[in-house]
Amino acid sequence: MKNIYLSPSDVIGSGLIKVDEVRKTVCPRNCFDTCGLLAYVKDGKLLKIEGDPDHPITKGHLCAKGTLYARRTNHKDRIKYPLMRVGKRGEGDFKRITWDEAFDYIVDKLKFCKKKYGGESIVEYIYSGNREFLAKTVADRCLNLIGASKLVGSFCLLSGLSGATYTNGSQYTQGIEIWSKKAEVIMIVGHNSSFTNVHSLPFIWEAMDRGAFLIVIDPYVTPIATKADLFLQPRPGTDTAMVLAMMKYIFDNGLEDREFISEHTYGVDELEKAVSEWTLEKASEVTGVEPHLIAKAAEIYATNHSHMECGWGHQRYTNGHQTQRAYSCLAAICGHIGKEGATCNYLDISAYKTPSVRDKWDRGVRESMGFLEIDNVNYPKGSPSKYLRRRLINISAFGKALREAKEPPIKAVISWRGGLLSQQPDVKKMIEGIKKLDLFVSLELFMTDDTDWADIVLPAADTFEQYGIHPSYWHHYVQLQKPVIEPLHESKADLDFWCELGRRMGHEKFFPKDKTGDQWLRDFLPKDFELYDSVDSERIVRIPEKYSARIPWADKKFNTPTGKIELYSVGMAERGKRHPGEWSPVPHFEETMESPVSRPDLFKKYPLMMISQHAPLRIHCQWFNVEEIQEIEGPPGIFINEMDAAEYMIKEGDQVKVFNDRGEISVVAKVTNRIKKGVCEVNSGNWIKSGSSPNVLMGEYTGGPRDVGDGTMRENYDFERDGNTIGYFNCLVQIKKEN
Amino acid sequence: MAYNHKAIHVDTFRCVGCHACEAACKVEQNIPPGPKWIEVIEVEKMVGAEYKMFWKPMACFHCGEPDCLPVCPTKAISKREEDGIVLVSKDLCIGCMECFRACPFGAPQLGFDGKMEKCNLCVHKTAGGGVPACVSTCPSEAMFFGTTQELSSLMRKKHSVRSISVNGAGNPSVGSASAAKAAEGRTQVVRLSNKAGALSNH
């Protein structure tokens, strides 16, 4: 038994404590790293979380958030019991009720909505606050049986995913433990490894010690950017122009890999034509990056064994799918796809879809063909609703759907594992939509922005109090999550909530009361998967290669209509004939829908481009209320360029109002040179009630390729090929010093 | 036996200001919000036309000749022979914070009990051969722990590997020459400072 030095928080330095057990578990947050964890438990209480040294990628290291986990789990402000709204929605006044009373109320309302409007008036709101898949899929089973609308899509990265997928097929990642050993050049694009992927850093440092050259592309000088050998800082939303110029430079100077292009790509002539207008000077005018730097990056990337590690920042603008199209084509013309140490990583989708599935290009909505048996769980045998054509609600236009959906309108939302108000854009409009609901339930750990507007608030169980499985979308190691402690207070594991709701809505058959978490996990894992037999163990297992190859595309087989890497995307051209949207088959640059160039009318009033970083010490709005995090972060701030600050007569520490037509917030000025003049930055995840949420100012822009209109759909939706991503970062604001 | 004295070395090239060390210290030592036995300081400055940004985690340096030790009126501060860790005895300390005024680095903290407290190099772990919590947690592997002699050898090895690595980079393939050329400049740069690309303003 390991000893840890810990004492109850009111007694300092009282000596070593012997714990009862140390359990292995895994962090299920929306983070690339998906760390192995050690949980120290004594007397049924979680004392401490440390990194698990046995994890081959995360190696026992942990970020600040993971390290402080126990303080969050044991936080005094955890919601302890169910609450019912007293007074008007949004007043934040609640009374305590029992779980029975809560369920009765919810079931009554759901049945009412079903009767009056139809089951499709009900929808969940879920994202990735706890990204594990098991409870999410069981919830889907419940919602399927109820006949609710189905929530699809994302607002985070699917525009870019479509750009990558249309180029070289379904996306899988080559592990960093492999590429970092062989890459001569590492190009990190739109990715703040230093905050969102910290465990990648030792691999990158080793590569650099070995002589690898680091290029970083970001509108913001992130910490990883300060370590780069070459840093390109384009105007937010203009990467595409720079990448097109890089490709023209490469073609003009014969730096492309002609053999690779002729053997494995399709459409190079159209691409060469498309980039022909993008001289270095033209790109420099658009992006603000000096021409010689664009040329240097192109030359170094093209002429070496180069690995491109794509994040998702560059595609969080309207037209983000074309931005990723450009980057993926750049990798392709240089022959840097499918090679050990030289490929283009975007995302690993093996949990949803394995490479062995050669899907029909325009197939219908089949939930999953990945290594998790998602379909078996959300469409169980004997369920009457298998393949029922439910209406789809696209989460990237959720606000619009709330306000505009018809036949039926949305009348009931159960919100869990996501910040509906805090992480969607245009808070004012979202609140309008919420006001129209007959039922708004929020399952939460703390009284957040969402709970303020709920009718029923339910105490959610924490990560360490539930079952789950959370495959990383970056590395290839997976672990089971088992409860390390009992749910605190009256909280209920998410799985238990949805099963209970399912039973109370009349579907006991599909939610057996005595079914254990272990049994649910067994339903969810493929029978030939190593963890299936070891549901009781705490092993860290590499996903079998048939689900995610060691070197994706080493066989040079690409899941595209032509079977080749499509520089001219036949796939986009074809899908564009069926659905509205932006389907240009060759990458091209367009100003974002809210930029100084596209909206001179707005720019006159709101002359600053606001982007939004992932805060290093939080996952968006998670951890915002943890005091140990607050004392490091300080009060919510805005980064303002030094020259701008001088013009506005704003000093470091001044309170500043930031505003546009959508609203206003108040934050502390941080004067810096890490962003260019004309750009400012407010962290994502600041709680709305702190008055500092940048989402108040952001517009409801849904990036492509598919136009999702009011967010409702009745036809096929394909998460790999339709998009979407919300254009969070194309946002014009004005600032003013407060007195 | 000063050459056996232990220290934490931070490779400031690797530090990215994630503050995990701060969190690890709090959790390991059970410190509530307030005192920071280690704190990461961010520095941003223009050096000529070059923009530099770096991060410096600062705990206690367990100085060879601590300025805090002689000024303590109750002799509460001592330096261990075996590993050089500078400790404060809460029993003897009266919380006058003269040590704080003497320390050039801001290491002493005022605890909630009114007594001084500070980084103790996780003596409860390191005395038995372990590693301080900050060092083991650091996700960037930027922190190293050992005797000053061990740390010196480590940094010498790291530098030497870099200065011959230019020609040994990865696969010999088309363009490795240009990678070598491109990386050439780097071997002359002492990695403990940083360089960012040219900062031009739009």
Q: Kindly report, residue by residue over A691-722, the tens digit of the pLDDT.
A: 999 999 999 999 989 999 999 998 788 899 99
Euclidean distance between CA atoms A304 and A293, whole angstroms: 17
Query: What percent of chain B has pLDDT above 90?
Result: 65
The label of the residue with tokens 């260019």 reads A676
The label of the residue with tokens 């889907």 reads A140
* Confidence tier at B183 by pLDDT (50, 70, 90): very low
Residue length of chain B: 202
Euclidean distance between CA atoms A194 and A191, whole angstroms: 9
Q: Does B182 touch chain A (CB under 8 A)?
A: yes
Return the pLDDT at B201. 27
β-pairing, A150-152 with A392-394? Answer: parallel
ipTM: 0.93
- pLDDT tens figures, B29-65: 989 999 999 999 999 988 887 888 999 999 999 999 9
Closest CA to A557 of A177, A168, A215, A292: A168
Euclidean distance between CA atoms A242 and A82, whole angstroms: 53
Residue length of chain A: 739
The label of the residue with tokens 């209406």 reads A391
Closest CA to A269 of A558, A569, A568: A568
Closest CA to A274 of A237, A329, A332, A343: A329
Q: Which residues pair with B43 in a beta bridge?
A: B54
A660 touches A606 (CB < 8 A): yes
β-pairing, A608-611 with A679-682? Answer: parallel
**Which chain B residues are Cβ-neighbours of A63 within 8 angstroms?**
18, 20, 23, 139
Compare CB distances from B27 to A68, A201, A632 and report the shortest one's residue: A68
A525 touches A532 (CB < 8 A): yes
The reply to whether residue B27 touches residue A230, judged by beta carbons under 8 angstroms, is no
For chain A, which ranges sit under pLDDT 50?
A: 1-14, 358-367
Domains, chain B, in order of start with CATH, read 63-118 (3.30.70.20)
Euclidean distance between CA atoms A500 and A513, whole angstroms: 8
Return the pLDDT at A149. 95
Backbone φ, ψ for residue A651 (5° rounding): -105, 160
A700 touches A671 (CB < 8 A): no
State the smallest CA–CA distance between residue A116 and chain B in angstroms: 52
Return the pLDDT at A355. 59
Whole-angstrom CA distances from A505 to A106, A111, A375, B96 are 10, 8, 21, 66
- Helix A158-168 / helix A570-578 crossing angle, nearest 10 deg: 130
Euclidean distance between CA atoms A448 and A129, whole angstroms: 13
Compare CB distances from B32 to A5, A9, A61 and report the shortest one's residue: A9
β-pairing, A230-232 with A213-217? Answer: parallel
Euclidean distance between CA atoms A579 and A706, whole angstroms: 7
Return the pLDDT at A7. 36
The reply to whether residue A229 touches residue B201, judged by beta carbons under 8 angstroms, is no
State the smallest CA–CA distance between residue A611 and chain B in angstroms: 16
Q: Which amino acid is at B104?
A: P
Three-class SS state of A246: helix
The reply to whether residue B201 touches residue A676, judged by beta carbons under 8 angstroms, is yes
Return the pLDDT at A539. 85
Q: Environment class of residue A224 by beta-carbon count within 10 Å: exposed (0-12), middle (13-18) or buried (19+)?
A: buried
β-pairing, A608-611 with A732-737? Answer: antiparallel
Q: Which B positions 113-172 lie with beta carbon below 8 A of chain A?
A: 113, 117, 124-125, 136-141, 158, 161-162, 165-171
State the smallest CA–CA distance between residue B52 and chain A in angstroms: 7
What integer is the mean pLDDT of B94-120? Answer: 96
The reply to whether residue B20 touches residue A62, judged by beta carbons under 8 angstroms, is yes
Measured CA angle at A413 (ends A410, A414), to 5 deg: 160
The reply to whether residue A201 touches residue B158, judged by beta carbons under 8 angstroms, is no
Return the pLDDT at A383. 78
Lowest mean pLDDT of A99-103, B62-66, B136-140, B194-198, name the range: B194-198
Return the pLDDT at A369. 65
Residue B196 has pLDDT above 70, yes or no: no
Closest CA to A78 of A492, A482, A491: A491
Return the pLDDT at A44. 94
The label of the residue with tokens 């995610």 reads A548
**Which chain A residues are Cβ-neighbours of B175 within 8 angstroms?**
184, 302-305
**Which chain A residues are Cβ-neighbours of B167 within 8 angstroms?**
211
State the smallest CA–CA distance between residue A350 and chain B in angstroms: 26
The reply to whether residue A61 touches residue B162, judged by beta carbons under 8 angstroms, is no
Return the pLDDT at A53. 95
Euclidean distance between CA atoms A304 and A183, whole angstroms: 8
Q: Which amino acid is at A487?
A: P
Q: Which amino acid is at A413?
A: V
Q: Which B positions 24-63 lie with beta carbon below 8 A of chain A?
A: 24, 26-34, 36, 44, 46, 51-55
Find out whether the peptide bond into A724 is cis, omega within 30 degrees of 0: yes
For A201, the closest chain B residue by CA position comes to: B140
